[in-house]
Amino acid sequence: MERSTIVRVHDGLHARPATRFVKLAKSFESDIELVKDDRSVSAKSSVKLMLLGVKENEEITVRATGADAIEAVEALIGYLENPLAGTEEEGIAQSRKTDSGKTSSKSASNLPADGKLRGVAASEGVAIGPVYGFFPAEIKQENRSLAANEIADEVLRLKQAIATVQKRMDASLAETSLADSDRGIVAALKDIANDDELTGGAIAIVEGGVDAVSAVIGAASKIASDFATMDDPYLNARGDDVNAVGRQICLALLGQEDANLDAVAAGSILVADDIGAWDLARAPLKRIAGVICGHGGATSHVAIIARAHGIPAVLGLGRSILDLRGAKTVALDGDSGEVFANPDAAVASHFQAEIAKADAEKRALTAYKDVTPKRADGTVIEIAANIGSLEEIDAAKDVGAMGIGLFRTELLFMRHLHLPSEDLQAETYSSLAKAFAPYPVIVRTLDIGGDKPIAGVEFPDEENPFLGWRGIRMCLDRPDVFKPQLRALLRAAVHGNVKVMLPMISGVGEVQATRALIDECAKELAAEGRAFAHFDLGVMIETPAAVLVAPALAREVAFFSIGTNDLTQYIMAADRLNPVVAKLNDVTHPAVMAAIELTAKAGVEAGIMVGMCGEAAGRPDLIPGFIAMGLTELSMSPSSIQRAKKCVLDTFKTA
């Protein structure tokens, strides 16, 4: 069974999309290959997939042989045709900047050239502080020849070392303190550690009579060299990941612990010739004021981690990094890529002024963390957060989120090779409710279609999955999937202010059918003696049909939440992720604004809450207009919350 398609995954099968693709492929028994330009590789090897260099908008073929070949091809094609598959982690598009080495003229570029070094601007912001040097000892090849009777034991030793590294990475992924964005990177590294391209290659070298350490270094170097020859800067950077994993295996072989960053002092600038994403992801990142590296670029995982945590970073200094080894203090500009070793008084003063300015802006917004914004009539405007996992709770609470306006449950489903159990879902939703009580948490029921495949649901072959069997349509057809989620939500409602939102609604009948299932679930739980509580049921307004029947929907539900991202693309008949028609995806277009106003009017007249959970909810230029329409809840990424609260207050100060 084989099928060809055009890849719509953002920027192609780089590390994390490749990891997810392989995970999905491994859930099928069939042998699966991905074919591009007459080259074919196993779809169950992330390293081979990345080396194939599959880019967005390229044509590829998925070929499967086995009992479940049809299901495998359909699921994998569905994944590849999903433009969102590579952008699930917030900010991934930002992390895919071109590693061109170009620098901006911002900030430090007007300073004297004396002592100035230049690298790649990898994460914005400025910092100055004491140097914390991180220069672990290099592991060198032993180049030891093995006797014939030593080979079997050396292969066993290598396999044990590989298993040790895999267990360490599993333990890291199990840590609740690991940020969700970093978790994806560690998962990609673990996939490399599991990949036969590296491990099998190293084992083959040992079987040829070479010691295990030399074999691992040799196998990793070959793969890294292959990545270096590719014309994609992001894929070039994956060679660093392979070498980092190889280093961990070598350390396990030698029985050594790698140097770590546990002792870094608060406010330090981390200076290293090279640092693996594995090391940085597990470091006490809140203590690190800046990162400077000899290796790496704007597309490396180190840069991605730095950006995710707001740490200024300059990478790719090359041998110039040696000029910093003996420095006591260093200043860096992550906007221009400039670095100053032992800065003089003038340079230090400049950086301190820039830092003070940035801190003042942050502090000014921090003042709004615990503010409860209200309209002139005293009506509270809830400023809530959009999140997709429990790991994001702290970030939302730290900025003063007034609950959750959108909890995307699909990530919970996509993380597992099997459908998550009712108990696992109940535990997740309960944790969310407890964390924000008494504020409301709005949980969106499973919003999955052929573009977001999950194990346990076979999606049909669709020309346009965004207009197909997805969201509430799929859930109502699959009560075996939907009912466990509804039961879990009823159980979680005991622990807080849970509200439930249905996606992709186009008519009243879908709401009524869902209510019947909820009633059925409640009766079952009562009969089983399980504790549960009822929740408010609402709908997302994201289809033109929902807008046009909004008055009828308002009589059936407790709230509306306007999903401006999809609403805009459906009204404008323009794929919001297609750059050719990007200019049409404008939420301020009169047609889109009219749809929002019609929805708000229907909700206000029915006396139900009207909120918004699309990206437009966080725009200061639009917030006053939305509130004037009658919206009383706005949900957005946590980084926009304090600014939105300020905007609401400013609106009614001048009203």
Residues 202-229, buried b or exposed e (16+ Cβ, 10 A)?
Answer: bbebbeeebbbbbbbbbbbeebbebbee
Answer yes or no: are the C-beta atoms of 237 and 99 closer than 8 Å: yes
Cα–Cα nearest to 269, from 323, 329, 354: 329
Residue 637 vs residues 305, 420, 513: alpha-carbon distances, Å: 18, 26, 32
**Which helix (DSSP H) or strand (DSSP E) does residue 562 occupy?**
strand 559-562
Strands (E), 250-389: 268-272, 288-293, 313-315, 329-333, 338-341, 382-387
**Residue 338's beta-bridge partner residues?**
118, 333
Answer yes or no: are the C-beta atoms of 171 and 190 closer than 8 Å: no
The CA distance from 541 to 439, in Å, is: 22
Strands (E), 160-287: 268-272
The CA distance from 268 to 127, in Å, is: 9
Non-local (6+) Cβ contacts of 216 within 8 A are 158, 202, 246, 249, 250, 253
| 3-class SS of residue 615 | helix
Answer yes or no: are the C-beta atoms of 644 and 636 closer than 8 Å: yes
Assign 3-class secondary structure to 89-151: CCCHHHHCCCCCCCCCCCHHHHCCCCCEEECEEEECCEEEEEEEEECCCCCCCCCCECCHHHH
**Catalytic positions, please?**
301, 613
